[in-house]
Amino acid sequence: MGDKASIGIIGLGRFGMSLAIELASKGKSVICIDKEEKKVKEVLNYTDYAYVSEDLTKEILEELGFKECDTVVVCIGEKIDVSILTTLNVISLGVKKVIAKAGSEEQGRVLERLGAEVIYPDKDSADRLAKRILSHNILDFISLNENIEIVEINIPKRYVGVKLSDSDIRRKYNLNIVAIEKDDEIDINISPSYIFKDTDAIVVIGNTDNIAEFEK
């Protein structure tokens, strides 16, 4: 594929299909695989890289280009054995970030032990995951409506060492900081004299476009 920032999606159920369409519509290079030809044909309307295969061995995945992906999402939550083996195969390819869908807490714990980031489809929507993949700094978000979001985001490097009162986050971007996550704790009583650290994450509320501009 030649795109080091490409996204691999294994399994085109409702979750995987929605994720593929969302990422492709945002300009990401997406590579997909599923055992059903009908689903592969459907996703070919959005990406040039989609393959039919029941075989998800390490060799097949490497041959099809999944090794070159920056992120691979394993969307096979129903068949636990296939999910675990496929996730293991992807991790063994050396993919930088592997995300796996789990249908239960037990399955999730196994996938985490393998080294995957686990998502649960009843809690994590495809749109929510797509947003996290598209923005490397955004950790989580909640949409209040089409224009307003609450977003948890890693503090941009340009603010490290800067006092909150000296930052331009509210003036320039019209964003309000509602909390700071520091040292694994959430602080909602934020002092204007607080100096941002490189390990901080901030929770802001504001317009979607302003958040996107700030994150850039």
> Contact at 8 Å (CB) between 40 and 34?
yes
Structural contact between residues 193 and 164, judged by C-beta atoms closer than 8 angstroms: yes
Pairing of strands 201-207, 148-154: antiparallel
Give φ, ψ of 152 to 5 degrees: -100, 125
Is the model more confident about 135 or about 25? 25
Residues 50, 68, 117, 141: is their CA dihedral positive or negative?
negative
* CA angle at 119 for the pair 28 and 78, rounded to the nearest 5°: 100
Phi and psi of 140, rounded to 5°? Answer: -165, 160
Q: Is the pLDDT of residue 143 over 60?
A: no
49-92 pLDDT, tens digit per residue, is 999 999 999 999 999 999 999 999 999 967 888 999 999 999 99
Q: What percent of the chain has pLDDT above 90?
A: 44
Residue 141 main-chain phi, psi, to 5 deg: -155, 160
Taken in order of first residue, the domains within the chain and their CATH numbers are: 7-134 (3.40.50.720), 138-215 (3.30.70.1450)
206 burial via Cβ count (<10 Å: 0-12, 13-18, 19+)? buried
Positive or negative CA dihedral for 159, 200, 136, 91? positive
pLDDT tens for each residue of 26-48:
888 999 999 999 999 999 999 99
pLDDT at 2 (0 to 100): 43
Instruction: Report the predicted TM-score, pTM, of the whole model to 2 decimal places.
Output: 0.64
**pLDDT value at 5 more than 60:** no
Which of 66-80, 124-138, 181-195 is predicted least confidently?
A: 124-138
Average pLDDT score over residue span 152-164: 89
- Kindly give the interhelix angle for 105-114 and 80-92, rounded to the nearest 10 degrees: 20
